[in-house]
Amino acid sequence: MALTMTQIDIIRSTAPILKDHGEAITRRFYADLLTENPSLNEVFNQANQKSNHQAAALAGALYAYATNINDLGALTPAVTKICHKHASLNIQPEQYEVVGEYLLKAMGNVLGAALTPKILEAWTVAYWQLANLMIGQEAQLLATTGQWKDGRDFKIVAKSQESSEITSFYLAPVDERPLPSFLPGQYISVTVFVPELGYHQARQYSLSDAPKAEHYRISVKRQTGDADGHPGFVSNVLHDLEQVGDTISVSHPFGEFFLDFTKDKGKPIVLIAAGVGITPMISILNASVLAGYQPRISIIQTARSGSVRAFANHCADLASKHANVSFKSLVKDADPCGCHDVRGRLSLSALDPKDDLLLDDTSTLYFVCGPEGFMADIHRDLCGMGVGSARIRMEIFGTGASPSA
């Protein structure tokens, strides 16, 4: 059933209510949903539940949906991102029914009489309009995976420490069948048992190498929770408990952040990464070098210090061997080894417009990954330098959509 013009007006009129009460609604939604459907605790990120990041993200999404209800094209990037994540988790259509029931019930519990029958009816239709759109997109994504739709058993065949907080995991399929390729920059979902919770949890991790038929590689930062609240359940299990020889469940690769050698052919690329945001960039860099990509490639990496920075030596080595590759390293704090080009917080104005940012070519693509504030700053600065948003691609880990301002 499509929304009528009257219902569209009703949904738009509720945007201020969602702005004021959205998070109360989503907190109630998650509390009731997960209490009465405990099996769904394995679907939702429990670290984000404890920090309320997921409730805040959903509240923001509801507000954005109400605001853009008559122009859903504005929501396409966010919807696409969510659909890829859902596909990696193999979310099923019937789960949308449960979510819709509890979300609408939470609206009623929080808003009371303010949720009139007409508003409830409009939001019911609006929910299913979006849900059916997403169900369709996710079915199309899963249709590309062949028989690999749910988790597949992989063995950890090697672990390699890349920095004081990032470790790489080399994962090979137990069935030893050749792995499908992926677009560099994409991710997989990894599912492990979390003893502290007593059930499984899944997380998405960028593939951090070029596609290989025999194994995948992810590079995982230990999330201590110092800045973001609760320590990461899965990252700490991977670092501390999962050892070489252990088996974990892995999804088919997904993700809308990538370099496409066919569509992007001939375009210079600038890879700008902060912290663990370097991981998808290494996949793009390695795949590009392996494919003999001829356009210029500039990789710009920033980290708190040399001890937490990963893959710097690898990037420098590739830059020394390939004339079209350049590498610049920046660290915020003192770096005893001196293995950096610039000290301090990354500022695009301090970089060379031609050699580092490749601004002399109006086809240059910019890939940005790191904390939300970092990406918002980079996006704003690039736009201020005349780079259109269509040439800026951003990947954000966790909840929410990529910031653009």
Specify whether the CB–CB gap between 356 and 300 falls below 8 A: yes
The full set of domains in the chain, from first to last, is 5-144 (1.10.490.10), 152-250 (2.40.30.10), 269-396 (3.40.50.80)
Q: Which of 71-75, 232-236, 309-313, 343-347 has the lowest mean pLDDT?
A: 343-347
Given 30, 65, 96, 187, which residue is catalytic? 96
Across all residues in the chain, what is the average pLDDT? Answer: 93
Does residue 92 surpass a pLDDT of 50? yes
> Is 176 marked active-site?
no
What interhelical angle do 93-111 and 117-143 show, nearest 10?
150
What confidence score (pLDDT) does residue 377 get? 94
CA dist list (Å): 246 to 154, 170, 310, 367:
8, 11, 24, 34
Residue-wise pLDDT for 246-258, tens only, equals 999 999 999 999 9
Report the pLDDT averaged over residues 100-106. Answer: 98
What confidence score (pLDDT) does residue 53 get? 87
Distance (Å, whole) CA 135 – CA 183: 23
Distance (Å, whole) CA 219 – CA 277: 10
Question: What's the predicted TM-score (pTM) here?
Answer: 0.93
pLDDT band at 398 (very low <50, low <70, confident <90, very high): low
Dihedral sign from CA coordinates of 178, 180, 185, 190? negative
Distance (Å, whole) CA 85 – CA 389: 23
> Is 138 marked active-site?
yes
Given 138, 162, 165, 242, which residue is catalytic? 138
What confidence score (pLDDT) does residue 338 get? 46
Does residue 319 surpass a pLDDT of 90? yes
- 204 Rama class: left (phi>0) / alpha (psi -120 to 50) / beta: beta
Report the pLDDT averaged over residues 195-213. Answer: 96
